[in-house]
Structure 1
């Protein structure tokens, strides 16, 4: 894991106000921080909506569409990370900046099981979530595929290969990015750890950002997406499938969470989404577990 960059001076571009509290259920397939009793998001949305090809609830809260990854226009964009400049710009537009992130020591303690009430088991789950969500160029995941350690980079598709060599959506019931729910649930490990380790300010900043409103859309999206946890995108007459983690609200929720952990992690998230090859998408949807052997389908990916 990378260390955190030094915080930059605060430069709030998203106006924040306190408009009452809303209760947000723990999301399926998003990492790190508790969603309990959050405040209504008050980051300033983008002025104009755009036709992303996603529909409600998969498009997310109105006004934030232009901040989410767009479909790649060139093969060179596949699995490319955002980069720090772009990540900082997006953070500012949703009401976050570097001063909202955990300190370097807080971050290192959390991901190593340190700090007051730290847990190595919880840290391993959190680290796995981060690796899945940042599986972009230069950051491969390694899995056992046909008895051989095999790298894969699939973030733009909204897919990943688990350690056993099975291809799946990060929102699959098997994924750490879903199993982490027990840690982020109200009263769970992460919220308690943050409060006990002087990170309440970061948690408040997260709740005051666009994270809160997007979390509601993300939760709704996951509840209607079945075992496969894939999303349909229709632009013009062309329909395609992408994994749930690349649907705008879930991508933005995960972005906000990683940015608060460490801005460099958010910078490693995918900048563009790519349709899953139709043969692969059909196989994932047909599977009773939403998983297929990566070795059988690796040739369909660039």
Structure 2
């Protein structure tokens, strides 16, 4: 009944199960971050472990090792996690394949079917999924200078929107940010799940590490301006990566995709890659956090 997804396990260390349950927090879940009260100090920059990410970007202690690691070889660039590793991570954050939607529920969710389904809402959800799984074999297509252009940039925590603009998935313009309105308290997604016999899926998400990581993800986004990039400093070397690759946000997104369909979580990037400095500087300098992909595509070749 489940998709086997992509193969290729990734070494991950364990993490304790957390059972902090908050109905309001879960119903307010989003693919990247939501406007709910910040519970992590934005001023704290204490380093956690040896990930190279500072607080709050490193997330809750004990879970940072489950996020993507920095790539160490070219073949890891934009490589998908794989189903075996995805299932292992899911287990360590408190989820299992049986918690996910059925195949029919999944099809209804992304097509606007089911009880109370909406095609426009479903389109935004599907676009968000495509952005977060923009790994090898899953290109995202956009209009760059009048040409339909494929791009695969998930490891950088970037993507190219349909108008050819390069940006973070946490950019205000991105479906992965705008979908927040659908998943806010009392919103479309929570209502749809309850109306379509998926309450158990919702409860499983409540009970997972998702609720522990979400406040760190929210705090991270709130202090990152229009660019929505994150600085990683390790071994005296600093680099930038898109917000979606910071451990708490990656795990939040992983949990959400896993309960929708485990093979989607398996298609998320297993490793993060530093954004070329010229590109990162341009994104940070842009008042919108966007730059034309055609101007910078060569840096990713």
TM-score clears 0.5: yes
Aligned mates of 2:21, 2:143 — CA distance in 1:
48
Aligned in 2, Cα 1:114/1:28: closer, same or farther, shift over 3 Å? Answer: closer
Q: Is the 8 A contact 2:140 2:151 kept in 1?
A: yes
Aligned in 2, Cα 1:90/1:99: closer, same or farther, shift over 3 Å? Answer: same
TM-score (norm: length of structure 1): 0.88
* Aligned 1:78-117 pairs, distance under 5 A: 78-117=77-116
Which stretches in structure 1 are left out of the alignment for 5+ residues? 7-12, 37-48
Per-residue CA distance 1:54-113 (angstroms, 9 max, x = gap): 011000000011111100000110000000000000000000010000011111101010
The number of aligned residues is 280
SS in 2 for 1:221: helix
Correspondence for 1:190: 189
SS in 2 for 1:54: coil
* Aligned 1:10-159 pairs, distance under 5 A: 17=19, 21=22, 23-24=24-25, 26=28, 30=32, 50-159=49-158
* Aligned 1:173-212 pairs, distance under 5 A: 173-212=172-211
Aligned mates of 1:86, 1:268 — CA distance in 2:
11
Aligned mates of 1:294, 1:171 — CA distance in 2:
17
SS in 2 for 1:115: coil
TM-score (norm: length of structure 2): 0.88
SS in 1 for 2:25: coil
Correspondence for 1:5: 3
Per-residue CA distance 1:219-245 (angstroms, 9 max, x = gap): 000000000000000002100000000
Aligned in 2, Cα 1:27/1:203: closer, same or farther, shift over 3 Å? Answer: closer
Q: Is the 8 A contact 2:17 2:209 kept in 1?
A: no
Question: Per-residue deviation at 1:30?
Answer: 2.1
Q: Is the 8 A contact 2:31 2:128 kept in 1?
A: no
Alignment partner of 1:254 is 2:253: yes
Aligned in 2, Cα 1:16/1:64: closer, same or farther, shift over 3 Å? Answer: closer
Q: Is the 8 A contact 1:28 1:171 kept in 2?
A: no
Q: Is the 8 A contact 1:214 1:250 kept in 2?
A: yes
Aligned mates of 2:268, 2:141 — CA distance in 1:
18
Correspondence for 1:279: 278
Q: Is the 8 A contact 2:21 2:206 kept in 1?
A: no
Question: What RMSD over aligned residues (CA atoms) do the two structures have, in Å?
Answer: 2.2
Which stretches in structure 2 are left out of the alignment for 5+ residues? 5-14, 37-47
Q: Is the 8 A contact 1:15 1:95 kept in 2?
A: yes
Structure 1 segments, 4+ long, off by >6 Å, are none
Aligned mates of 2:121, 2:75 — CA distance in 1:
36
Per-residue CA distance 1:242-291 (angstroms, 9 max, x = gap): 00000000000000000000000000000000000000000000000000
Aligned mates of 1:85, 1:223 — CA distance in 2:
33
SS in 2 for 1:24: helix
Aligned mates of 2:169, 2:227 — CA distance in 1:
10
Per-residue CA distance 1:173-210 (angstroms, 9 max, x = gap): 00000000110010000000000000010010011000
